[in-house]
Structure 1
């Protein structure tokens, strides 16, 4: 199977793959840190790009790779997306760039669960073969969290003895899972969640609809999650959850059943309905717990959300009860789903459990 025909597990439905994304929004400090190092001639060989999932780590890695390989450091990073080399990179045909990701199992045609040591060995061969061409060579590992032990050890050896003029971008959603020795041999670019205004810019670029402030609040500033929510009517579902609790926690059984039935609908291209409903219930309970400790979180993710949360969680005792409910009921629902219990019944059971919780 050709490289460009591989399944792309890091691609968000409704959005272009990060290597096709020309407009980089946010993360000015990270960009400035990297470009400053490159222009000073002190560019480190390993760069660990970290931050919450969906905040643009891969998009940043591809943008910086285009900028480096354009070999004109006077350019701004955004300008490198319009150079001829950008088209080769988008087509995965640039000989000085190597992408490392989970390989496809030739028997099943599906992605393997891990990045194997063979993929890191291919990366070493890439650096040796491309050395004769001179200039920078770049590798992107997406994501480094998915390397198995043998792959991680092979990469560590490469970082300890880096090839000349090589730059390796390691994308990591959970850097604590990486070997400490790998982390210590990389410079870190930590990305922060995007603001509502930045989420709005992304939505406008992709011609996607949705309230950017509500999406930023509900997604935790993750573009990937915001796009999933827009694709699955997440804001509408969250509003329905908020409305369920508008009467001081007394839940209307009919409306609860309708929400539970929604969780049983067939999974579509944008993801699993059960997972979405449980995720949004988790978010609601988490925000209820936050409300009891420091007041309703802002901006609101639904109409009247602040009013509802203030009534449900007026003090720290209530916050603790909501946090305990979140942990217990969500774990029970997901465990039931793992053994193929009826998703509608699981969600309804969770909602009834919340309605029957002890009074604050």
Structure 2
């Protein structure tokens, strides 16, 4: 399945089709017991780094709720979804009348995934709740992730959260909850997921047919992935390790050699079909700058630390401006690399 069309990385399983979840047993047990208690909150904020299983957990919990509409009769554990059940088949095919998955839509003109969840998508939730459920079942909305809501869409979601319909459940996913509207966060029950440990990450990759057989490459992938399956797939299937190596060449080179290294990296990242690896690089660049800023601050070099911290904060804004005004991507990348090199 193409990542440009469906938003799913090469080698990954769409979360609505994924029946296997690794490393989040405590969160699964919490959700099952909280639902069984009958005190389940109408909105749960499932937060944690990208690619650790938040969406898979959300779909698994939605399957549990829709399969057991009476909380008191629901099991105390989330069972592995049965692909042959009617609920699972409907969820997997996107045909469930009781579940709505709000994510970035595909632009019909370009065939590419849009950069944000728009207010038009949120309006689908209003229509979704206006339809009377023939079964009297719960209505579940998965916002995946809420970080992608633009301002108008976020305000529209907030209005629904303020007066939620009866028997409604919102599963709000977030990679960076601190960036969400405080009013959205305040109306959600937070559930924080941690990055996967090496054993769970290896098991998750093995489930996708990716075997890490030990050695330097496996160790490097596990270290650079930071407990994220999606990061590991970007490293392995999208050339992420080569991009990091090229970035390190930029940092270590001097004079004309540094300029040549910048241009080589810029040419790769500016490719039209390299959206996934471009986003991967921006994340790596931001993490590098934030890490360097912390190190400099601890060593007492506060002015330099402040400069790098500001640059880390500016990365996303500069890319957004570049896209908004259709500026040359390579020149934007070169500008960022030059600032980092200085």
Shift of 1:49: 1.4
Question: What is the match of residue 163 of structure 2?
Answer: 161
Question: What is the match of residue 81 of structure 2?
Answer: 80
* Bigger CA radius of gyration: 1
Q: 1:36 aligns with which of 33, 38, 51?
A: 33
Q: 2:334 aligns with which of 337, 341, 346?
A: 346
Q: 1:282 to 1:253 in 2, by over 3 A?
A: farther
Q: Secondary structure at the match of 1:41?
A: coil
Q: 1:197 aligns with which of 189, 199, 207?
A: 199
Q: 1:122 aligns with which of 101, 121, 124?
A: 124
CA-based RMSD of the aligned residues comes to 4.2
CA contact (8 A) 1:98 1:138 kept: yes
User: Which residues in structure 2 correspond to 1:58-207 (within 5 Å)?
Assistant: 58-71=55-68, 73-74=74-75, 76-84=77-85, 85-105=87-107, 110-207=112-209
Q: Secondary structure at the match of 1:126?
A: helix
Deviates more, 1:144-153 or 1:271-280: 271-280
CA contact (8 A) 1:159 1:182 kept: yes
| Aligned-partner Cα distance in 1 for 2:226–2:59 | 23
Q: 1:93 to 1:6 in 2, by over 3 A?
A: farther
| Aligned-partner Cα distance in 2 for 1:173–1:105 | 23
Q: 1:345 to 1:190 in 2, by over 3 A?
A: closer
Task: Say if 2:211 is the partner of 1:223.
Answer: no
| Aligned-partner Cα distance in 1 for 2:130–2:335 | 54
Q: Secondary structure at the match of 1:132?
A: coil
Q: 1:264 to 1:81 in 2, by over 3 A?
A: farther
Shift of 1:62: 1.0
Q: 1:164 to 1:8 in 2, by over 3 A?
A: farther
CA contact (8 A) 2:266 2:330 kept: no
Question: What is the match of residue 307 of structure 1?
Answer: none
CA contact (8 A) 1:260 1:344 kept: no
| Aligned-partner Cα distance in 1 for 2:316–2:76 | 51
| Aligned-partner Cα distance in 1 for 2:285–2:175 | 23
Shift of 1:268: 7.4
Question: What is the match of residue 271 of structure 2?
Answer: 267
Q: Secondary structure at the match of 2:22?
A: coil
Q: 1:322 to 1:257 in 2, by over 3 A?
A: farther
Deviates more, 1:338-347 or 1:177-186: 338-347
Q: Secondary structure at the match of 1:98?
A: strand
| Aligned-partner Cα distance in 1 for 2:83–2:166 | 27
CA contact (8 A) 1:46 1:159 kept: yes
Q: 1:196 to 1:342 in 2, by over 3 A?
A: same
1:285-309 deviations in Å (ceiling 9; x for gaps): 6555666778xxxxxxxxxxxxxxx
| Aligned-partner Cα distance in 1 for 2:282–2:178 | 26
Deviates more, 1:74-83 or 1:130-139: 74-83
Q: 2:45 aligns with which of 43, 48, 67?
A: 48
| Aligned-partner Cα distance in 2 for 1:152–1:327 | 26
